[in-house]
Amino acid sequence: MKRKLLFGECMLLGDGTEPFNTVIPFRLKGRFVLKDVEHALNVLQAKHPWLNAVIKYDENKAPWFEVTERKIIIPIRTVHRKGEEQWQEESKKEWHTVFDSKENPLIRFVWIEGGDVSDMLFVFHHCLCDGGSAMTLLHEFLQLLDNPSVQINLENPILGIQDVVPNDILSNRRQQLKAKLIGRLASTVIKCIAIEKRGIDRKKDYLIHWKFDTETTKEIISFCKYQEVTVNTFLSAVVLQAFKKTRKKAFNKVSCPVDIRRFAPQIKDNHIFAFGLMIVVSLNKKISFEENLKLIQQAVEKKTSKLNPYLTMMVLESAHDAVKKFTKLLKFGKSSNDCMFSNLGRIQIPSEYQQFSLENVFSPSVIGPLGNTTTMVTSTFCGEMDFSFIGSEGYLSYVEALTIRDEMIKTIQQQLESLVVS
């Protein structure tokens, strides 16, 4: 079984020599043995074909996911747990560890073993799967770790664009022509753009983690309902406000991923897939924070309604000859946004199992070589809103990042207090 990588997946893979890794950390309370962890991972591989895939290149040097005949095993790295924050240090190690994609799977596992409490990390190459896929795999892993005989549904894998884009659109001559014309134009423009020979030295990478307790999280949700905006809109505005107050040269732009599954029902929760959509939001500096919430909500709804994943995929697939130039453009071009902000929302994974309890699912972290690494990921598990702030000194200093975090917390508290007063 094999399939050619889509445009976006090729971009994330690059030439395979630099890491672009996503880390999913979680904490379990209970005792485990290695063979049970190995069994759970083996069953996941049996149910999800692309977890058995390596990267192969055809005669045109195009990369393919290919499930080989030989058995490949998900690597497990075990370390002794020395403290509550060790998962952060191990996450950073995994950011910088390149996948040997020609010989090994694009997934590995870290077990920080601590007796009654263990921290564990799923690590994926970002070209393999997105946050939605990762959460499904985590849920299935926990079910198997708790009960080795539990039945997990077999994934019917995506084998190409034809499994995502409906046939009536994919075979429509008008849509084909439109996609080809836009793709050719984009490809020509990309090829004509001059690229710097050297990118910004990103220097040391860092991870800042914090969370809100259940009471504060409830208050944030109530505030958003009162303001008639989504939590994502509120937090995006908070991020923009924090950058504006902290940095003189802030771009006033935050990129927000949008889950393609909202628009393409062909992509199921258990599909291993990594194609993303994106919108950009900004503040109007002439109006108040509260007024900006309404404005951003309107902008998000308008931009989201215009997203067309099917046409976008068709356009990109017609521009494969420009993927290397586009990747270099992202890698060496100047940054034009402050941050990527991703809200996974409520993680709907049970916390209690027969053999153990899931104490925490920390917000994932992701870092790669394509330009500005500044990324913030938030998620909510067991009623607590959790944040991972990833960055590099060459783009945003650690001291500035701490100030941005503090400014975010301050802004949120001020808004919650204003609701109480009103």
- Whether pLDDT at 394 is above 90: yes
Quickly count helices (H) and strands (E) in the chain.
12, 15
Q: Would you say the CATH fold of 201-307+334-421 matches that of 2-146?
A: yes
The full DSSP string for 268-306 is: -TT------EEEEE---TTS-HHHHHHHHHHHHHHHHHT
Neighbours of 369 (CB within 10 A): 16
Q: Where are the chain's structural domains?
A: 2-146, 201-307+334-421
Angle at 249 (CA atoms; ends 248, 251), nearest 5 degrees = 125
For residue 422, the model assigns a pLDDT of 58
Q: What was the pLDDT predicted at 205?
A: 97
Q: How confident is the model at residue 117 (pLDDT cuts 50, 70, 90)?
A: very high
The residues with which 379 forms a beta bridge, in sequence order, are 386
pLDDT computed for residue 261 by the predictor: 87
Model confidence pLDDT, tens digit, residues 181-204? 998 998 888 888 777 767 788 999
Task: Give the tens place of pLDDT for each residue, 126-137.
Answer: 999 988 899 999
Helix H segments across 105-259?
Answer: 131-146, 167-170, 173-192, 214-227, 231-246
Domain 201-307+334-421: which CATH number of 3.30.559.30, 2.60.40.10, 1.10.490.10, 3.30.470.10: 3.30.559.30
Please say whether the beta carbons of 279 and 340 come within 8 A: no
CATH of 2-146, one of 3.90.1150.10, 3.40.440.10, 3.10.50.40, 3.30.559.10: 3.30.559.10
pLDDT in tens, 332-360: 878 889 999 999 999 999 999 999 999 99
Contacts 24+ apart (CB under 8 A), 296-300: 296/229, 296/233, 296/236, 296/237, 297/228, 297/229, 297/230, 297/233, 300/230, 300/232, 300/233, 300/236, 300/256
Q: pTM score, two decimals?
A: 0.94
Mean pLDDT of 99-105: 94
DSSP symbols for 173-184: HHHHHHHHHHHH
CA dist 191 and 326 (Å) reads 8
The CA distance from 138 to 152, in Å, is 12
> Given the DSSP bridges, would you call strands 2-4 and 53-57 parallel, antiparallel or unpaired?
unpaired
Percent residues over pLDDT 90 in the chain: 82
d(CA 260, CA 265): 9
Query: What average pLDDT does the structure give for the chain?
Result: 93
